[in-house]
Amino acid sequence: MDKLELKGQIEEFIYQNESNSYSIAVFSTEDQEVVTVVGYLPFIAVGDTLKLQGKMVVHQEYGEQFKIETFEKLMPESAAALEKYLASGTIKGIGPATARKIIDKFGEETLTVFKFEPIRLAEVKGITKDRAYEISEEFNEKWEVWQIVSFLEQFGIGANNSKRVYDALGVNAVEKIQENPYILVDIVYGVNFYNIDRIAMQIGIPMDSDYRIKSGIKYALLVASYNGHTCVEKENLINYVKETLDVDEELVKNNIINLNVSSEIHLVEDKKDEKEYVFLEQLYKAEKNIAERLCVLRDCKNTKYIKDFKKEIKKHENKMDMELSEKQFEAISQINENNVCIITGGPGTGKTTIIKFVIDIYKEQKKKVVLCAPTGRAAKRMSETTGEEAKTIHRLLEIGKFEEDKLGSIDTDVTPVDSDILVVDEMSMVDVFLMNYLVKAVFLGTKIIFVGDPNQLPSVGPGSILKDLIDSKEFSTVHLDKIFRQAAKSKIIVNAHNVNNGINFIGKKDYREDSENDFFYINESNQDKILYQILSLSKERLKNYGDFEFFTNIQVLTPTKKGKLGTKELNKYLQAELNPKTNDILEKTYGDITFREGDRVMQIKNNYDIYWEKENRNNLKTYEAGTGVFNGEIGRISKIDYTDKQIEIEFDDGKVAWYAFSELDQLEHAYAITIHKAQGSEFDVVILVIPPSSNMLLTRNLLYTGITRAKKLLIVIGNKNLIEFMINNSEVKKRNTGLKLKFKN
């Protein structure tokens, strides 16, 4: 779609986000058309004259809008336009009446008066000489502020972040950046350090500048956080910065000391391994908050303690017609005895049974039990297995659209959790920032139960929360290691535990006689033959075997995005096989992806604003509506509408959302997804592909996580040597974290 250009004035703001200036506004064009515009408009007020570039889109709820991609602020070109600008109240002390007087007095000369002859403003009745200078100064200052936006473009910083820069640096932002461009690394999360470094060199910042070295140190710590670390060994940090910036080692050491003194970083000695670690302030503080808050929660009075607990358990066993195992009894007893408790274990070991039991026993005590999980799919699965409502942690805390473009803002206000018992599932996926918010929201006296499997893949964000809490030995922890009789019939569950224990499932014969035929392995090395197996299983063989239909039951998983058997290529092959191009099916190409009606797709970034509805399929009446679709949610394209230029998607949980053609960068095909993306989800049938890949990817916990995504049937396809390598590769990439140390200090 070609870009459009509009020129005119802002008439009214319908909505404006104060933190990032995302706006919805009424815009009057030169041709007297009135258009609703949406986008980032920092430093813009009613009456401003703008030149906008962007595209027309159709919002399902609000109709046609102009989506701003870039804009330029213009000086009002006519006396009428300037009067409208002044009358808007953007200049303190000038309202519609005074604006009219100024324009009547000076007409087309008004701008010249404001900029170069401010004393003449005193000729207007009601404006004193002092006030004339104040008005002129404010007018020119507001115009100068706008220059920040265009100045920042050379650093690759767009309008959406320019207000943050201004809020941090004030009206002298340009001068401060020219003096030290590296301050932008601290203000704008994700900015390209090397781009700023290059520009800094061009404007004459010395290579050995303290500004440069301090920024390089903090940037190195930031990059480490992208890889899951909350801290870096000091010696490694010194060597990395020294080599990357090509500066003397002593300069790096001195600047580490200076940053530590100013509390921008923290140095912590681990006496056990006699090493010193360096933390960014936010990561250090988040871990410190978690440790302190959990200890307070643990040590406060156990107000939810139930007397005669053994008798209560027996009563509920009879009521639920079940008998707890020794470990399950221990787990529930520990929950009664402690305010903070950790329950871990692999599939089939009874974690869900414990959650159900906790819900039942405490609800009978008139206690409020709240369930949550880190992702939408994990929360949905928790609801399905317990029969109770479960929310994502974000929704529970009503964090909403907190600053995702900052490194874990840790001071955002959260909604306190109104509960007596809080159960958090899939704890292995919780990172240090989400955990910081969660413990901050829990009232003293609340029992908090962390449930998870530490052998699964770690969180995408920094930290290793579940593992660190277990290793700290500060909290009551029960590890469930017995596979229950019914679960032991499943070869999926048995082989998941085998893999976790380093035992190869290939050629294994000692299954129970009544084992289910739910696990198959296809030994294949040739990538073309593996692809054939994937396509034929997806299209017809699984349909013939168990009446499994791809779009209802089957999910292809692979460790990687790249290569012939990575998600990018597999999605193309699977789309061509399962949803081929026909004259009857509409499609829309965006970039190098062709979206087609009927495609399975995944949301790949959090979108807090997108509107959705849920329909009751019995009477087709809308029974729920809201906003927000989040990273990892999967659905199908139900309709492509070229008239309104939008795509309709029905997600797995029943909500229907509409995406403008210009918003399709938020979606990708999901016929095949990575094992990482599948974490927290379960599928009836999983085709697990193990292609040749980086040794860093081919780990035991990746294979274990992939296997445990299947509920009814699992087919593993790959070379037996690669699978054996993965099972033996238990050296999970160690994350440097400091949470355990925080409990000691």
DSSP label at residue 490: B
Contact between 611 and 651 under an 8 Å Cβ cutoff? The reply is: no
Alpha-carbon distances of 660 from 71, 161, 408, 622, 663, rounded to whole Å: 21, 24, 30, 21, 5
On whether the CB atoms of residues 375 and 433 are closer than 8 A, the answer is: no
pLDDT of 124 > 50? The answer is yes
Rounded CA gap, 133 and 121, in Å?
8
Indicate whether 413 pLDDT > 90.
Answer: no
d(CA 715, CA 538): 11
pLDDT band at 672 (very low <50, low <70, confident <90, very high): very high
pLDDT at 400: 62
Report the alpha-carbon distance of residue 321 to residue 334 in Å, rounded.
22
Query: 185 vs 656, which has greater pLDDT?
Result: 656
The string of pLDDT tens digits covering residues 489-532 is 899 999 999 999 999 988 777 677 677 889 999 999 999 999 99
What the block records as the tokens of 516 is: 């289910």
For residues 312-317, average pLDDT: 87
Above 80 in pLDDT, residue 675? yes
Instruction: With cut-offs at 50, 70 and 90, classify the pLDDT of residue 405.
Output: very low
Identity of the highest mean pLDDT range in 394-398, 611-615, 688-692: 688-692
pTM recorded for the entire structure = 0.79
Return the minimum-mean-pLDDT range out of 7-16, 203-212, 299-308, 439-448.
Answer: 7-16
* pLDDT cut 90: percent of the chain above it: 51
- Cα 547-553-555 angle, rounded to 5 deg: 125
Distance CA 463, CA 281 (A): 14
| Average pLDDT in the chain | 88
* pLDDT tens column, 678-701: 988 899 999 999 998 777 778 999
Where b means 16+ CB within 10 Å and e means fewer, 498-515 reads: bbbeeeebeeeeebeeee
pLDDT in tens, 102-120: 999 998 888 888 888 889 9
Question: Comparing 204-208, 398-402, 684-688, which segment has the lowest mean pLDDT?
Answer: 398-402
Instruction: Read off the pLDDT band of 563 (50, 70, 90).
Output: very high
Q: How far apart are CA 191 and CA 185, in angstroms?
A: 6
Instruction: Using the predicted structure, report yes or no on whether residue 323 has a pLDDT greater than 80.
Output: yes
Residue 404 has pLDDT above 70, yes or no: no
CB atoms under 10 Å from CB of 611, counted, come to: 17
* Distance, CA of 586 to CA of 511 (rounded, Å): 49
Least reliable range by pLDDT among 1-5, 50-54, 232-236, 342-346: 1-5
Pairing of strands 646-651, 634-641: antiparallel
Contact 227, 208 (CB under 8 A): no
Rounded to an integer, the average pLDDT of 713-735 is 89
Q: What is the pLDDT of residues 61-97, one digit of tens each?
A: 677 889 988 888 887 767 877 787 787 777 877 888 8
CA 614 to chain centre: 23
Q: Does residue 335 have a pLDDT over 90?
A: yes
Q: In a 10 Å sphere around its CB, with 0-12 CB exposed, 13-18 middle and 19+ buried, how is residue 731 labelled?
A: exposed
Average the pLDDT over each of 106-110, 563-567, 665-669 and give the range with the smallest value: 106-110
According to DSSP, residue 618 is labeled T
Sign of CA dihedral 171, 175, 177, 180: negative
